[in-house]
Structures are given as structure tokens and as C-alpha cells.
Amino acid sequence: MSFDWLAPHYRWLEFVLAGDKLHRCRRAWLNEVEECRTVLLVGEGPGRFLETCVHALPAANFVCVDTSSAMLARARAAWQKAGGAAERVKFVHDSVSEWKPTAGYFDLIVTHFFLDCFPEPGLSKVIATLAFAATPSARWLLADFQVPSRGFRRLRARIIIALAYAFFRIATRLPTDRLVSPDVMLELHGFRRQRRREFEWGLLHSDLWARA
């Protein structure tokens, strides 16, 4: 799986296909995590959420992990353009399934539109790694796609998601073609969902999870 060639086009593709809808999901619970100081962003892509955090979380330090060096370069440029200090962020070029984080270090984990890239059991391993890196009272921000339970909204979501997976499997060699819910896996690692907001007729959701 590689997003390198897609990196120069990702922002305009997102804007053309979804406008500001995905970014609204990313920002939905940002005001609930203002006290967080050590933030892990995984699969951040070109840095749109990281750029927002420059001013939204002014006292926080960040680690940004991505398998794509091209995406990391764009995230670094977005951070600098927004006025972020270099010492506040560390960019790590690695696969999260291979990366070895410090245990219990991060009080905020962020996985926006990232966990949908993994099949089971790969997703379980990713969540276990990130949970290992989280403090006992950590928060977790998660935005992603979903399929509503019934009706036209369900049919619409299934068509959109199938087309998206078809594109990304060709463009990035994505190793899955279907959504796997991370909810049970998060609960196994002590996280409980505090908030959920849905967008776009239930196609998108944004969650705030927390360890008790």
C-alpha cells in the first residue's frame, strides 16, 4: 500500500469530491481535547488536520506517522505554512504495524480516515499498537465512513464506498475492499465512545473515544 503518487493530488481530489465535508468530520470534537499535550496522528496524509492543530492545540506536541514519505513532506509543509514550530512536531516515516512506540506516552490518538484501510486481522494489530502507546486516560479521535442500517441512505453509502474502495485499490494497492468496524477492538483496549456525530445522511461519522 502506497499513497506516494497520490500525495500531490489528494487535497484537490478531496475538495472536488467532498468539499469541506471530510474536514468537518476531522474537526468535530477538537474543542473536547484542548487539554491534550502529547498527540499521535497516524495516516495524517497531506496535513490538513495537523495544520488546524497549530492554533487549536497550541500547547501540544505531535508525532505524525505515515508510510508515505510524499504525504509526510506535504504535512510538514502544511505545518510550517500554518506557523507551527519545528520542535513541536516529529515526522516518522514508518508503517504503524511495524513502528515501535513508547508505551503509555500519548494522551491523544488521531486516526481520521485511516482505519478503513485495513482488513481484519491487520486492523486489530494496528489498534493494539496504538492502544499500547496511549496513556491510561487517553482520548481517541476517529472519523471515517460507515454504512447506515437501512433505506436509501444505506444503498447510497454502499455505492459510494464501493466506488471509493475500487479507486484506492487500483491507485494505492489498498489491501481491503470493505469496511471493518473498529468499535469492538477499541473497547477491548479500554476505550469507550463518548460522542458520535453523523454527516452526509449517515455516510460519515466522527467519534470521540476515551479510556475510563
What is the predicted pLDDT for the residue at 2? Answer: 83
Model's pTM, two decimal places? 0.96
pLDDT for residue 17 is more than 90: no
Rg (CA), the chain: 16
- CATH topology for 7-211? Rossmann fold (3.40.50)
Domain boundaries, the chain: 7-211
Mean pLDDT of 169-182: 94
Tell me: the pLDDT tens digits for 130-146?
999 999 999 999 999 99
Average per-residue pLDDT in the chain? 96
Mean pLDDT of 195-211: 97
* 91, pLDDT greater than 90: yes
Its sign, for the CA torsion 153, 159, 161, 162, is: positive
pLDDT for the residue 97: 86
Confidence of residue 32 (pLDDT cuts 50, 70, 90): very high
- How is residue 67 annotated by DSSP? S
**Residue 33: predicted pLDDT:** 98
In tens, the pLDDT along 142-162 reads 999 999 999 999 999 999 999
CB within 8 Å of 183: residues ≥ 6 apart: 193
Least Cα distance to 46 among 14, 82, 72, 17 occurs for 72
3-state class percentages of the chain: helix first, strand second, coil last, to nearest 5: 40, 25, 35
